[in-house]
Structures are given as structure tokens and as C-alpha cells.
Structure 1
Amino acid sequence: MTWTAPEIERRKEPFVAGERDMLEGWLDFHRDTLLFKCQGLSVDQLRRRSVEPSSLSLLGLVRHMTDVERSWFRRRVGGAGDLPGLYYDETNRDGEFDDVDTADPEADFAAFRAEVELARAAAAGHSLDETFQHERTGVEISVRWVYIHMIEEYARHNGHADLIRERIDGMTGD
């Protein structure tokens, strides 16, 4: 496979905006940053594990965040609770990370982009103050919390992505 991760132009985070625009802007910045860390890499480089025994890879992170977007925005905020995971199930809880050796990065990147758009659509029209009950914990959670959690989740994994990318080809940066 000769596919390489496409170039990405990251959107800038907003410096002045209303709350919703600020949250969405920072989330988009972090979504773009994950893809930015992958740009120009080959299939083998995207699949490369960080360090033994970890199964963490850039492709695994893209697949993981695809399912995280799906889970928080479509399943929970959007109410599609029966929507299955794309890369994992009850018998393979870490499939998004463990099953990258034969994965198709081009299809996985397309799935990520599609899921982000579906997440946007699922959140549209829901107030930041709107709540839902988490299906496993029973905890009441606001849409605002989901945005903040997603920014935190991306920020943490983008740090992982930065270290993995540096190990692959020495590239560092924001």
C-alpha cells in the first residue's frame, strides 16, 4: 500500500468567542492536531507501535478517537445508545489499538473525518446545559462536560502522538 497520510492545515483555536464557539474551536484544533501529527507518514509508519509492550500507534490513536467521537457525541449526546463500536467490541476491548497490523489507514482516516462530521451533527441543537444519564454509571452529564472531556482526551492523546511521531522520524513541534 503506497498511501500516505494527507497534509492537514490546522484551524487556529479562537482567542475571543462565545462559550460554544470556544469549545468547538478548541475541539476542532485538537482534532486537526491529531491528523497533523500523522501527515506525510506511510502506512507502516502509522502502524508502528510506540515501544514494547505497548500497542499504541498513531493509527491506533486515530481509530480510538473515531470511536470516542462516536461514543460521546452520537451514542450519548445524540441518543443513539445502540450504536456499536467501529474497532472494538466486548470480546476485543482494545481492537482500535491491537488490530492495526492489517488495518487500512486510508479507510480509517476517512472514518475519522466522517465520524467528526456526524458528531457535529449529533451535538447541533443541543444546549451545553442539556444533560443525559451515562448508561453504565448512571451519572448525569452535561453536553458542556462532553466538550471539555473531548478536549482533554485529544490533548492527552496528542501528547502521545507527539512522542510517537518523534520516535518515527524525529519531527517535533506543536
Structure 2
Amino acid sequence: MSTERPDPFVVAGERETLRSLLDFHRATLAMKCEGLGDEDLRKQAVPPSTLSLLGLVRHMAEVERAWFRRVISAEDVPLVWSEEGDRQAAYDASAATRSEAFDAWRAEVEHARRVERQAGSLDVTGVWARTGQDVSLRVVMLHMIHEYARHNGHADLLREAIDGSTGV
């Protein structure tokens, strides 16, 4: 399946700009994984790091869930891969499959999009449990763009190490 990556808007309102940049980065992560089987997607970066493309997809499913469901929607749901709240558990993709990871990630992305669309304003807030601070949907969307951009840089290096592919 080929991922279609939307170009981010360069002239738009704040919400449309944030939405388009976030979707651009979501699609970039998916594109970095295209054409690879489970074994390649589980290949780890460099010892002692356990970082892999599949681990990044799993991690981003957790991040989507944590910020949109748990913070903005105040849903009392566990993390996807750790009921104990271990945020690092998602990175362990040693037994993971593409379908398991991507199904969870896509489900969380779709849920996040619904949360964002249903929010009346970017000023809607939720409570960040780790600090007890209120955080706005605006800040969550900016954080998500930052999180994807940072991890897409990791994905660039991981993909190049697997098969020499660069760019995208």
C-alpha cells in the first residue's frame, strides 16, 4: 500500500496549518516504513539502542493516545502496550508485526483526528497528569508536530541503514 502524503498548507488559518503539518509528518513516518517486512521493520539502530522503525510506529501510537485521549479527552485508558504506564514498552518491537503496530497507530491517529475536529477551539484544555498543568489543544498539536519531526529524523537514519533509501 502506497502512502499518500499531503503537502502542508503554506497559507492557511492556524488550525488548518497545524492539522496539515501534523498529517504531513504522520504520512512521512508511514512512508519511511513502506516496502519493508516485519524483520526489516524490527531491525534495531545501533547497540545498545533498541530503536527500530516498528518501535517508532508503536511509540507514536502511544503518543497519539496519551495526548489526545488521555489529556484532551480525559479518557481513562491505559497505554496500548503497557497497562502499567511504561512509556518505553512500545519501543520493544522484538515480537511485533507490521499489522499489529500499524493497526494500533492508525486507530489512534483516527481517534486523535476526531478529538481535534470535535474540539470547538484550539484553546480547549486538558490536564497533563505528569505535571498537573492545563495544556491546550494548540500546544498538543504543536508538540505532536515536534514529536513526529524528531522521530522522522530517526526513521530517516533507520531506513537508510536497512536498504540505503534516503529522502522522502
SS class of match (1:124): helix
> 1:119 is matched by which residue type in structure 2?
A
- 1:96 paired with 2:90, answer yes
- 1:111 paired with 2:129, answer no
- Cα RMSD of the aligned pairs, angstroms, is 1.3
Residue 32 of structure 1 and its aligned partner are, at CA, apart by 0.2
Contact 2:25-2:148 at 8 Å conserved across structures: yes
Aligned to 1:8: 3
SS class of match (1:13): coil
Q: Which consecutive residues of structure 1, in runs of 5 or more, have no partner in the other structure?
A: 1-5
Contact 1:69-1:116 at 8 Å conserved across structures: yes
Q: Number of aligned residue pairs: give it.
A: 167
1:130 to 102, 124, 131: 124
TM-score, normalization by structure 2: 0.94
- Whole-angstrom CA distance in 1 between matches of 2:107 and 2:118: 19
Q: Which consecutive residues of structure 2, in runs of 5 or more, have no partner in the other structure?
A: none
Residue 88 of structure 1 and its aligned partner are, at CA, apart by 2.5
2:28 to 2, 27, 33: 33
> 1:104 is matched by which residue type in structure 2?
T
- 1:76 paired with 2:71, answer yes
- Whole-angstrom CA distance in 2 between matches of 1:113 and 1:141: 24
Aligned to 2:161: 167
Instruction: Summarize deviations over 1:3-43 as a string: whole Å, max 9, x none.
Output: xxx32121111111111110000000000000000000111
- Whole-angstrom CA distance in 2 between matches of 1:9 and 1:131: 31
Aligned to 2:113: 120
SS class of match (2:118): coil
Residue 91 of structure 1 and its aligned partner are, at CA, apart by 7.3
> 1:112 is matched by which residue type in structure 2?
W
- Whole-angstrom CA distance in 2 between matches of 1:91 and 1:154: 21
**Percent identity among equivalent residues?**
52
- Whole-angstrom CA distance in 2 between matches of 1:161 and 1:131: 31
Where has structure 1 moved over 2 Å in runs of 4 or more? 88-93
1:140 to 119, 134, 137: 134
In structure 2, relative to structure 1, the CA distance for the partners of 1:92 and 1:143 (3 Å cut) is closer
Residue 130 of structure 1 and its aligned partner are, at CA, apart by 1.6
- Whole-angstrom CA distance in 2 between matches of 1:101 and 1:40: 19
SS class of match (2:126): strand
Aligned to 1:65: 60
Residue 93 of structure 1 and its aligned partner are, at CA, apart by 4.1
> 2:107 is matched by which residue type in structure 1?
A
> 1:171 is matched by which residue type in structure 2?
S
